[in-house]
Amino acid sequence: MNFWNDPLKIAADWMEGIFVGWGMDAVLAHVLVAFLGVFLLIAILMVVDIFLVWVERKVVARFQDRLGPNRLGPFGLIQPFADIIKLIIKEDTTPGGADKVVYNLAPILSMMSVLILWAVVPIAPVMLGVDLNVGVLFLIAAGAIGTLSIIMAGWSSNNKFALIGGFRQVAVMVAFEVPMLTMLLVPTIFASSMNMNDIIQGQGNLWYFALSPLGALIFLVAAIAELGRAPFDLAEGESELVSGFNIEYSGMKFGMFYAGELLHAMTFGGIWAILFFGGYRFFGLEQVSPFLAIPIFLFKALIGYWIIMWVRYTMMRIRIDQMLVFNWVFLTPLSFVLLMVTALMNALLKDASLWIYGLGMFLSNVVVGWIALEIARSVSRKQRESVEGPKNLAEAPH
Amino acid sequence: MNEWLYVALFIVVGLIIPIGAIAAGFIFGPKKPNPIKETTYECGIETVGDTWVQFKAQYYIFALVFLVFDVEAVFLFPWAVKIGQLGLYAVVEGIIFITILIVGLMYAWRKGMLEWA
Amino acid sequence: MTGEQIIFLITAGFTLGSGFMVVTTRNLVHAALWLVSTLFGVAVLYALMNANFIAVVQVVVYIGAIAILFIFAVMLTRKDLRENTPQINKNWWAGALLAALVFAGLVFLLQGWSGFSKTGSALPSDFDAVGMLGEALVSPNAYVLPFEVASVLLLAALVGAVYVAFNKK
């Protein structure tokens, strides 16, 4: 083992040696080094987060045929730092009648719920926070704290818009958690493990996207709803609720919600890449060195993030009733059917060769997706006809 | 050593960093509160009535339906981990488990409960 | 005292204190949030026992679903109901006495159990609790019937929700 293969372990051992040499207790030294490592990872994430502000603004500008920030520094790269300074020197107002403790706790919990996701995200073969055997469920548990922080922000602000925005967002988040949980079961079945690292290792021959393209798609839709981004951005709803659950926040507290949302989107890009696109894997390159694996993972995460942005700036907002009916009547039953088909095919093709297994999985996904779309099409046609009456062929244009 | 120790470290650092950022804002920002500045924002007119408006019962119903499926998915996770090694009977048992709940979802849908009305 | 014991005592105190706040605070949303911290404390206790799956499920189901359900339910209540009813009735001392007696009885009973004063031994490193649970859930010799009955129970909850919804209309 050399520095090129496992830099973190070498650095950690070296530092632990120094601390023990100072006469520190071995366990305490280990905890201290682990603390420093976690601190370093999260500090890097915060720096990445600052640049995500720039990425988001630049990409939205391109989608809308604008240039985006381009004055401050090369390509406007210094702009996000100016934004940070602005957020820091703004007055931090608290609305009258707000519930102070809950009001101040909400942005902290919101950011925390995003940061702890990285505890189970493997960024390279040897680099992950915790090798938890329930990693996949841990993601949902962290999301539960994020949901709670939105309800806390909405309730404590003493503002009707904030309350309505928070409640709508939470209703959507919990609703779309069901298809998300179900689609987390699909990689779990393939890898026979809930461990994130095992899921990546299981994709050595074939990415799970090839085995379950429909599952990856449903997961992406559910993830966008979980993030509260357009077309599911009810919580903000600028045109109806002004800014939704964070309307009364200013300065750095608002900054925490904003930065948390961007980092959350990027994190979900990374989780999508891990679950369905092999994470840090790329034709064996990841085995050479973690210095190669990290850029591969980051690249895949950014592609996922870019797709989430693409959807955000292309689709318009959906009404809450449409959103919930879409989830409960279409997406949830579809994800359950897909789960059952996947489990059944997995058992039937267990002993077949990789090609037959992959082809069978892929085709069953396509068939399930096609049938679901056909049913949705016929139902929506019936609904349309019940509103505007059946098309009268006699009155067709000449 | 218990792996949850590392999760605890992530939680602690995940709390320290936002607290630090908000504290920086608190230190460097101006602090001149006054009652008019603290009034609740509401689309250009003064606030009317209590903030605590009564919500639709539909929120509660959807949360209840969610709870049912949340618990169901939690039951399925150990099943999903193990079905690769077990025979077809395990898969069929899981499918029966899911089908019973899909029947419930269909029933709720036919009764019009999943509509926002 | 080992580090684990110190963490246990802190967590247990935190959980108990939060539980006390749930029943004493006047503000119902605060009570729900204190309930969240109580449930989180219980999750930490599970994690201390290396019960990873149960610890995570505790957060997913209780904080992610049940606490949200409670907050939604609180928002449905009327304001006069929240603020003008007394929190305790005149029989509070009987309830406190009964709780203390039950606690004393439990301690007395458990003292006769051989595992009461033992410290748990460490789990073997290849101990796959989730896999064993998954196998037991579908094994005909273990819990396959309770597993399927759980589904029927959840179905009953769903039908009950439908009934509640129709009562409202």
CATH classification at residue C77: 1.20.120.1200
A398 pLDDT higher than 70: no
Query: C85, C117, C144: which is the final residue of a domain?
Result: C85
Place A272 in a pLDDT band, splitting at 50, 70 and 90. Answer: very high
Q: Compute the average pLDDT of residues A61-81.
A: 83
Place A84 in a pLDDT band, splitting at 50, 70 and 90. Answer: confident
The span from the first CA to the last CA of chain C, in angstroms, equals: 59
Amino acid, res. A200: I
**Phi/psi of residue A127, nearest 5 degrees:** -115, 100
Parent domain of A259: 90-318
Q: Compute the average pLDDT of residues B102-106.
A: 87
A123 pLDDT higher than 80: yes
Distance between CA A163 and CA A153 in Å, rounded? 8
Q: Compute the average pLDDT of residues B67-85.
A: 87
Residue A289 vs residue A254, higher pLDDT? A254
- Report the range of poorest mean pLDDT among A9-18, A237-246, A312-321: A237-246
Q: Is residue A31 part of a domain?
A: no
Q: Residue A392 has what DSSP assignment? A: -
- What is the residue-level pLDDT of chain C in tens, covering all 169 positions? 677 788 889 999 999 999 988 888 877 888 889 999 999 999 999 888 888 889 999 999 998 889 888 888 887 776 655 566 667 777 888 988 999 999 999 988 888 887 777 776 777 777 778 888 888 888 888 888 888 888 888 888 888 877 876 665 4
pLDDT at position A201 is 84
pLDDT at position A179 is 92
Q: Is residue C149 part of a domain?
A: yes
DSSP A231-288: TS-TTT-HHHHTTGGGTT--HHHHHHHHHHHHHHHHHHHHHHHHHHS-TT-STTGGGT
% of chain A at pLDDT higher than 90 = 13
Q: Is residue C4 part of a domain?
A: yes
Distance between CA A147 and CA A116 in Å, rounded? 14
Q: Is residue A266 part of a domain?
A: yes
A128 pLDDT higher than 80: no
- Report the range of poorest mean pLDDT among A66-70, A169-173, B48-52: B48-52
**Phi/psi of residue A124, nearest 5 degrees:** -160, 165
A364 pLDDT higher than 80: yes
Q: Is residue A17 part of a domain?
A: no
Cβ distance C72 to B70 less than 8 Å, yes or no, reads: no
- A residues 134-153 closer than 8 Å to B (CB): 134, 136-138
Bridge partners (DSSP) listed for residue A124:
A127
pLDDT 10s digits, A4-32:
667 777 777 788 788 778 877 877 888 88
pLDDT 10s digits, B13-23:
989 988 988 88
Distance between CA B77 and CA A103 in Å, rounded? 35
Q: Which residues of C touch B101 (CB under 8 A)?
A: 151, 154-155, 158
Distance between CA B70 and CA C142 in Å, rounded? 24
pTM: 0.88
Q: Which residues of B touch C137 (CB under 8 A)?
A: 75, 78-79
Parent domain of C57: 1-85
pLDDT 10s digits, A331-361:
989 999 999 998 888 888 887 788 888 888 8
pLDDT at position B40 is 74
Q: How far is A369 from chain C (nearest CA, A)?
A: 26
- Report the range of poorest mean pLDDT among A125-134, A145-154, B24-33: A125-134
CATH assignment, B4-110: 1.20.58.1610
Cβ distance B50 to C162 less than 8 Å, yes or no, reads: no
Q: Compute the average pLDDT of residues B23-51.
A: 75
**Do both C1 and C81 map to the same domain?**
yes
The whole-chain average pLDDT of chain A stands at 84
Distance between CA A217 and CA A266 in Å, rounded? 17
pLDDT at position C85 is 65
Q: Which residues of C touch B49 (CB under 8 A)?
A: none
**Do both C77 and C139 map to the same domain?**
no
Query: C56, C85, C114: which is the final residue of a domain?
Result: C85
pLDDT at position B116 is 67
**Interface residues of chain C, partner chain A, Cβ below 8 Å:** 3, 29-30, 33, 36, 52-53, 56-57, 59-60, 63-65, 67-68, 71-72, 75, 128, 130
Distance between CA B69 and CA A50 in Å, rounded? 37
Domain count, chain C: 2
Q: Is residue A336 part of a domain?
A: no
Q: Is residue C116 part of a domain?
A: no
Distance between CA C150 and CA B79 in Å, rounded? 14
**Do both C133 and C81 map to the same domain?**
no
DSSP C18-56: HHHHHHH-S-HHHHHHHHHHHHHHHHHHHHHTT-HHHHH
Let me know the angle formed at the C-alpha of C87 by C84 and C90, rounded to the nearest 5 degrees. Answer: 115
Q: Is residue A378 part of a domain?
A: no
B1 pLDDT higher than 80: no
Q: Compute the average pLDDT of residues A88-102.
A: 82
pLDDT at position C100 is 93
Place B43 in a pLDDT band, splitting at 50, 70 and 90. Answer: low
CA distances (Å), origin B64, targets A318, A329, A341: 23, 16, 27
Q: Compute the average pLDDT of residues A252-259.
A: 87
Residue A178: Cβ within 10 Å count? 24
Q: Is residue A94 part of a domain?
A: yes
Helix (H) or strand (E) holding A16: helix A7-21
- A residues 63-102 closer than 8 Å to C (CB): 99, 102
- Report the range of poorest mean pLDDT among A14-23, A44-53, A176-185, A282-291: A282-291
% of chain A at pLDDT higher than 70 = 93
pLDDT at position C17 is 93
| A312 within 8 A of A230, measured Cβ to Cβ | yes
Q: Is residue A283 part of a domain?
A: yes
**Do both C74 and C135 map to the same domain?**
no
Residues across chain A: 398
For residue C32, give every residue at least 6 positions away whose Cβ sits within 8 Å of its Cβ, in sequence order, or none: C67, C70, C71, C74
Q: Which residues of A touch B89 (CB under 8 A)?
A: none
pLDDT at position A396 is 52
pLDDT 10s digits, A183-236:
999 999 888 888 888 888 888 788 888 888 999 999 999 999 888 887 877 766
Identify the chains in contact with B, defined as 3+ C-beta pairs within 8 A. Answer: A, C
For residue A127, the SS3 value is: strand
Q: Is residue A200 part of a domain?
A: yes
Domain count, chain A: 1
Q: Which residues of C touch B83 (CB under 8 A)?
A: 134, 138
Rounded to a whole number of angstroms, the CA Rg of chain C reads 21
For residue A124, the SS3 value is: strand
- Is B84 near chain C, with CB under 8 Å? no
Place A2 in a pLDDT band, splitting at 50, 70 and 90. Answer: low
